[in-house]
Chain A
Amino acid sequence: MSLDNTEVKRIAHLARLAIDEEVIPQYAHNLTNIIELVDEMSVVDTDNVVPMAHPLDVMQRLREDKATEPNQREQFQKVASAVENGLYLVPKVIE
């Protein structure tokens, strides 16, 4: 499977990554090589194999549904670029 420039742009959009136009062909080349590498998996018959999500087949732990973390909003918002009145600021979304 080879990826062309259009496909790379589509994936970059899905991943919300701005990629400079001039390096798109380079990404197409490298991503194609990587996909070719992983395509080596396709020769193996895995029809009756159970997929492995966890090395020890452990199930996700459950806990009681109650708040355990204290509110540390101020502390956590100190590392944000733009905050006002406890809210994160982003460019206007609704006109």
Chain B
Amino acid sequence: MYQKTIAELAKGLQAKEFSSVELTQGYLDRIKRLDPTLNSYITVVEDGAIAQAKAADARIANGDAVPMTGIPLAQKDIFCTNGVRTSCGSKMLDNFIAPYDATVIDRFNQAGTVMLGKTNMDEFAMGSSNETSFYGPVKNPWDTRAVPGGSSGGSAACVAARLAAGATGTDTGGSIRQPAALCGITGIKPTYGRVSRYGMIAFASSLDQAGTMTQTAEDSAMMLNVMAGFDERDSTSLDKPVPDYTAKLNDDLKGLKIGLPKEYFAEGLDSDVAKTVEAAIEEYKKLGAEIVDISLPNSSLSVPAYYVVAPAECSSNLSRFDGVRFGYRCEGPKDLEDLYKRSRGEGFGPEVKRRIMVGAYALSAGYYDAYYLKAQKIRRLISDDFKHAFTKVDVIMAPTTPTVAFHIGEKVDDPITMYLSDINTIAVNLAGLPGMSIPAGFSHGLPVGLQIIGNYFEESRLLNVAHQYQQVTDWHTQMPASFK
């Protein structure tokens, strides 16, 4: 049963072939047996999950279920969950029981899904390997010596190992797409503002966006149907109608114009990854798509601009952690300043402290124009590159990552090398565009992700493009043998 997709499970639940309680218990048993190896969950909510499953079964029996009712999901531990610890992967919030639900959680509760638990992640979503988590690294189910990617590494690993039917993630610079690629699953980061950020612990507010991590594009469409939509509690939420994301999945791709940006197929791209991605593009040609060579000339500036914008916003957002109102508080502070400094110094890990300091530096007196303002201007250039490209093509395709998953410990001591592992995903966040990653094959025995980038609010098209590929390939159905 655990190998089934959300769409298949939903059908089985509605037809009463099995109950949500049976399904939920099955996943809980798998988590108990297999997660000690992976470490993909920070908190498992066994009793809560069973209670939600019982409620879902009652809804199904009463005939007032929606398609997602009774589906067991994992929630990234960045979303506040009323009464359940919400750690954000940090010692700072190890003792934090959220007093309210994030809008995303609230919407899933309304739909009657089951929350199996909260998934591991890089501390405050700052990382590309899940190694900065206070709760220890997550292992990649395809090779437990390798990282699952980050920051939504727990969500990616648990879906890849089928320890949840689907999971949420958040993506500030690639944190859904990069781990989805490295773990061989499907993930979508919607347009900035499409999904509410309310109750999603803020990292870089002008970039953060929540999305889905699933086996298939169809499953992502079903989850996004629940998550997307206007929320007055998020000041940057966009008030635009939400389509049914499953409606266009079956549209054919004849005449679809796919842009291949030469900057994403350049130096630094592993040749085997390149071959795998090229094979996927060939598959799209067979489906009737037309290939157009394009250029995104300012791509190389995305990492530098991001490492100003994201740290600057993080230094501001994380100033709320002061040891006073919630979260970690140091022992025996001698005065108020000591309370702030030691609570923060002891509560945050090294990567978070580095980013706060980079941000504080970039925003400090005399540097604003040279850093933050400059980065906002570069953002415009990057965004204009995409705007120009989308006058010629419908979607853009590229490798999600330049290499397959690297080993745990390989990059953790060198922030710059780690930052460059997101080189192909960051520009999409700076421009606020929707982006996806889908499994496109294997290289060196590890999954390779194909990135699909669309114009603003084109999530339906991305999901359609991904779904059509998944009708003619089976990469997305493969799972790591040792987790069967």
Taking Cβ atoms with an 8 Å cutoff, the residues of A that contact B are 3, 8, 11-12, 14-20, 27, 30-31, 33-35, 37-42, 44, 46, 49-56, 58, 60-61, 63, 72, 75-76, 78-82, 88, 90-93
Q: Which residues of A are found within 8 Å of B383, using beta-carbon distances?
A: 52, 55
- Known pairs A53-B376, A56-B238, A56-B456; list 10 more (Cβ under 8 Å): A12-B357, A15-B356, A17-B344, A18-B338, A33-B416, A40-B301, A46-B377, A52-B377, A58-B193, A91-B333
In angstroms, Cα B301 to Cα A49, docked, is 15
If over half of B's interface residues share one DSSP class (helix, strand or loop), that class is named, otherwise mixed; here it is helix
Instruction: Among A49, A53, A72, A93, find the residue whose CB has the most chain B CB atoms closer than 10 A.
Output: A49
Q: Which residue of A lies closest to B376 (CB)?
A: A51
* Chain B, 266-303, CB within 8 A of any chain A CB: 298, 300-301, 303
Residue B5 lies at the interface, judged by CB distance under 8 Å to chain A: no
Asked whether B378 lies within 8 Å of A46 as measured between CB atoms, the reply is: yes
In angstroms, Cα B322 to Cα A81, docked, is 11
Asked whether A18 lies within 8 Å of B329 as measured between CB atoms, the reply is: no
Asked whether B192 lies within 8 Å of A44 as measured between CB atoms, the reply is: no
28 A-B residue pairs with Cβ-Cβ distance under 8 Å, sorted by A, are: A14-B364, A15-B357, A16-B319, A17-B341, A17-B357, A18-B341, A18-B344, A27-B357, A34-B307, A34-B419, A35-B361, A37-B307, A38-B304, A40-B301, A41-B308, A42-B370, A44-B298, A44-B301, A46-B374, A50-B377, A56-B238, A58-B193, A76-B99, A79-B326, A90-B324, A91-B334, A91-B336, A92-B335
Asked whether A38 lies within 8 Å of B308 as measured between CB atoms, the reply is: yes
In angstroms, Cα B367 to Cα A41, docked, is 14
Q: Which residues of B are found within 8 Å of A30, using beta-carbon distances?
A: 354, 415
Q: Which residues of A are found within 8 Å of B326, using beta-carbon distances?
A: 79-80
Asked whether B192 lies within 8 Å of A55 as measured between CB atoms, the reply is: yes
Supposing A34-B416, A37-B307 touch, asked if A54 and B206 sit within 8 A by C-beta, the answer is yes
Asked whether B235 lies within 8 Å of A60 as measured between CB atoms, the reply is: yes
Q: Which residue of B lies closest to A92 (CB)?
A: B335
Instruction: Among B304, B305, B323, find the residue whose CB has the most chain A CB atoms closer than 10 A.
Output: B304
Supposing A72-B99, A80-B324 touch, asked if A58 and B236 sit within 8 A by C-beta, the answer is yes
